[in-house]
Structure 1
Amino acid sequence: MIVVISHPDDAHAMRVIRCLEERGEPVLLLDLAQLPRHATLTVDYRHGPRPQIRYRQADGTVHPLHEASAVWWRRPQAPDLSEVTDPQTHMFTANEWNEALNGLWQLLQDARWMNEPTRDDAASRKARQLRVAAEVGLRTPRTLITSDPDEARGFIRDLAPRDVIYKTFSCTHAIWRETRMLREADHAQLDTVQVAPVIFQEYVPARADLRVTVVDGRLFPAAIAWTPRAGSIDFRRNVGEATITAEVLPADVHDRVLALMERLGLVYGAIDLRRTPDDEYYFFEVNTAGEFLFIEDRTELPIASAIADWLAGRALSLPDAVPRASARPRAMPMDTIAS
């Protein structure tokens, strides 16, 4: 059995699940938000040192999680504790679920993980990503991560007259902040970085942005060519109007991306690069569960199929990616490109 840890509204997970079902592979969408009201979890040590792990759904269907051959750590949800209204009880209950689920993942070590949760968590840290990327030879922009307003002002002065951008560590579909250029009017707000640290970077001019989706050492690079709107430097705001084509990376960049993935211990990752007008490649970040449908749908690169093959334990017998013309630009829902 293949386990996909996500939820029904995750279009990426559902496409891969359809691929698996078409191959005749048994697959379970494990939506942790069904706990505790619509599902139960049991770890049973009565039959020996290797426990049986049962996930029982409201209709009575029982899934033996201990039989999982592969697990995709895609979009894990939290158990729905909305009915627990007392703050102290809610905190206690949430901690109990957290302990139980973290223990569960440790029991599924015989399964192949995309990506193993502890490695996924460590690899998702942007501060570490920049260091590892530089160590494997990828170019990275000059960066300052700080909650100190004076440090931020010093960084901006040191880079002058070069432009500076700023961005957040994370986002959700409810709270989403694109990467922004630091404007003169923003200087008056620099004291607010004391509230939460901010990432400042030198602005890297673009000939094209690149999204490189990696599946078990197989690269699916795509170039995103777009015309920025006034004040916008984040392709995610303009991707519906962009031209997206499959891309071939230079051999040295290709090898360094693979080295990055190996150092981070990732099977899957969506990497953001930028190609400058001088044909230099800069690394920005890797999203360990990044979106790929907006690339697949516009280029026909078979990313979902590659993920399904890996989860099913099949060799990735796909032809090498061949650049092809982008589909006609069209509006793209933000939930397919938010990360």
Structure 2
Amino acid sequence: MNKILIITHTLDNFSIEKVTEYIEKNGCEVIRFDVDLYPIKNKLSTIFQDGEWVSILETENAKHRLDDIAAVWYRRAYNIGNGVKEEMDKKFYGAAMGEIRNTLFGFIESVDAYALGKPGVYRRLDSKEEQLKIAVKLGLKIPETCLTNNPEEARQFILKHQNVVAKMQTGFAIYEDGVESVVFTNVVSEDKLEELDSLVYCPMQFQKKIEKKKELRVTIVGRDVYAFEIDSQQSEDAKVDWRKDGVNLLTKWVKTELPADVEAKLLELLDVYNVDYGAIDIIVSPEDEYYFIEINAAGEFFWLDNLTEDNLISKSIADVLCDKAPRRNNMVMA
């Protein structure tokens, strides 16, 4: 029986169970590696002796060989080393966490099997600048864009385009007094130009604001394309960034069809990156022009999966992992 390794964490959502269900229907076995239990509760070993490499994952419930897995789904790596800080002298904590991360990610990168996602792939797709440059080369439309830490360049861009949004290139939250504040996309008005001086400490991405007829989330798994749209302009909070009212919009997304040329270019984008999963954000203007915004290497899909018949996105992921559907061959080891 082929073994499929899923790398995630204990608080991940139910999409893991849905994909697992389809993997098992395909006649494959699932091994789940929750990284927040590593290294205190999960033990990972890789050994080379007698001319053979052997990798072993030992959890509280079982012991698994990982050197003979058929595929790996690297989904999430949250809260690695949970509990380590409380167990050791604080002067050793930083060094220990460095070893923990290096060992874990070194193992994931070196898996000699098909992988739906790897840390190195995620790091490359973190580059919004590369995404946008590739998109333009493929013929996709993008908004006028400025990435800078130069306040004067930002001011000139804003004054030229008048209607501009500012966004961070990474998804993160600010924590203050135990309260989480997510940084969303926001409109930059001319009365905020003086505040741009702080850019010298932290670069930002600015884009000409595209008026929205609708917004699309396109999830691609292998060659399967799942496109959904929403009229975000019906919600005051969601007009600039639909995530601000994301919870209230979860059930309001509607399945849609992409123009054939746009779909072909998005599939080509995944070909360029040699990945079999991407969650893509698109804005459709009132003139029906499709603007590529970004691709997320591990973007969430569970709420859209619920809107398909029989959780078809989960099924596509399982089929790709079990080699039951076309996939891009990303094995790089000799």
- Shorter-chain TM-score bucket reads 0.7 to 0.9
Counterpart position of 1:248: 257
Is 2:203 the counterpart of 1:213?
no
Structure 1 stretch displaced more, 50-59 or 74-83:
74-83
| Conservation of the 8 A alpha-carbon contact between 1:6 and 1:74 | yes
Counterpart position of 1:267: 276
SS in 1 for 2:92: helix
- Going from structure 1 to structure 2, the CA distance change for 1:298 and 1:202 (only over 3 Å counts) comes to same
Partner amino acid for 1:95? G
Partner amino acid for 2:225? L
SS in 2 for 1:72: strand
Residues of 2 paired with 1:24 and 1:269: CA distance? 26
Q: CA deviation at 1:208?
A: 0.8
Counterpart position of 1:328: none
SS in 2 for 1:92: helix
Counterpart position of 1:198: 204
| Conservation of the 8 A alpha-carbon contact between 2:237 and 2:244 | no
Q: 1:79 aligns with which of 63, 78, 81?
A: 81
Residues of 2 paired with 1:7 and 1:195: CA distance? 33
SS in 1 for 2:170: coil
Query: Which sections of structure 2, spanning at least 5 residues, go unmatched?
Result: 174-179, 327-334
Q: CA deviation at 1:84?
A: 5.4
| Conservation of the 8 A alpha-carbon contact between 1:5 and 1:74 | yes
Q: CA deviation at 1:129?
A: 0.5
Q: CA deviation at 1:261?
A: 0.9
SS in 2 for 1:178: coil
Deviations 1:187-220 (A, max 9, x none): 3421222221111100011111000100012111
State the number of aligned residues.
311
| Conservation of the 8 A alpha-carbon contact between 1:41 and 1:56 | yes
| Conservation of the 8 A alpha-carbon contact between 2:143 and 2:207 | yes
Residues of 2 paired with 1:107 and 1:230: CA distance? 44
Residues of 1 paired with 2:89 and 2:130: CA distance? 38
Q: CA deviation at 1:231?
A: 7.9
| Conservation of the 8 A alpha-carbon contact between 2:220 and 2:226 | yes
Give the TM-score, by structure 2 length. Answer: 0.86
Residues of 2 paired with 1:249 and 1:273: CA distance? 11
SS in 1 for 2:50: coil
Residues of 2 paired with 1:210 and 1:311: CA distance? 26
SS in 1 for 2:85: coil
Residues of 2 paired with 1:133 and 1:127: CA distance? 10
SS in 2 for 1:67: coil
Percentage identity across paired residues of the two chains: 29
Is 2:44 the counterpart of 1:41?
yes
Counterpart position of 2:21: 18
SS in 2 for 1:9: coil
Q: What does 1:1-339 correspond to in 2, within 5 Å?
A: 1-11=3-13, 12-48=15-51, 50-59=52-61, 61-77=62-78, 78-80=80-82, 81-83=84-86, 86-109=89-112, 111-160=113-162, 163-172=163-172, 174-226=180-232, 227-229=234-236, 232-239=239-246, 240-241=248-249, 243-300=252-309, 302-315=312-325
Q: CA deviation at 1:299?
A: 4.2
Residues of 1 paired with 2:35 and 2:237: CA distance? 41
- Going from structure 1 to structure 2, the CA distance change for 1:266 and 1:231 (only over 3 Å counts) comes to closer
| Conservation of the 8 A alpha-carbon contact between 2:213 and 2:285 | yes
SS in 2 for 1:298: coil
Residues of 1 paired with 2:27 and 2:151: CA distance? 57
| Conservation of the 8 A alpha-carbon contact between 1:164 and 1:181 | yes
Residues of 1 paired with 2:259 and 2:213: CA distance? 15
Residues of 2 paired with 1:131 and 1:210: CA distance? 20
Give the TM-score, by structure 1 length. Answer: 0.85
SS in 1 for 2:40: coil
- Going from structure 1 to structure 2, the CA distance change for 1:171 and 1:123 (only over 3 Å counts) comes to closer
> Over the residues paired in the alignment, what is the CA RMSD in angstroms?
2.0
| Conservation of the 8 A alpha-carbon contact between 2:7 and 2:34 | yes
Partner amino acid for 1:118? G
Residues of 1 paired with 2:137 and 2:124: CA distance? 17
Residues of 2 paired with 1:84 and 1:131: CA distance? 46
- Going from structure 1 to structure 2, the CA distance change for 1:252 and 1:232 (only over 3 Å counts) comes to closer
- Going from structure 1 to structure 2, the CA distance change for 1:42 and 1:194 (only over 3 Å counts) comes to same
Residues of 1 paired with 2:48 and 2:308: CA distance? 49
Q: CA deviation at 1:273?
A: 0.6
Residues of 1 paired with 2:215 and 2:306: CA distance? 17
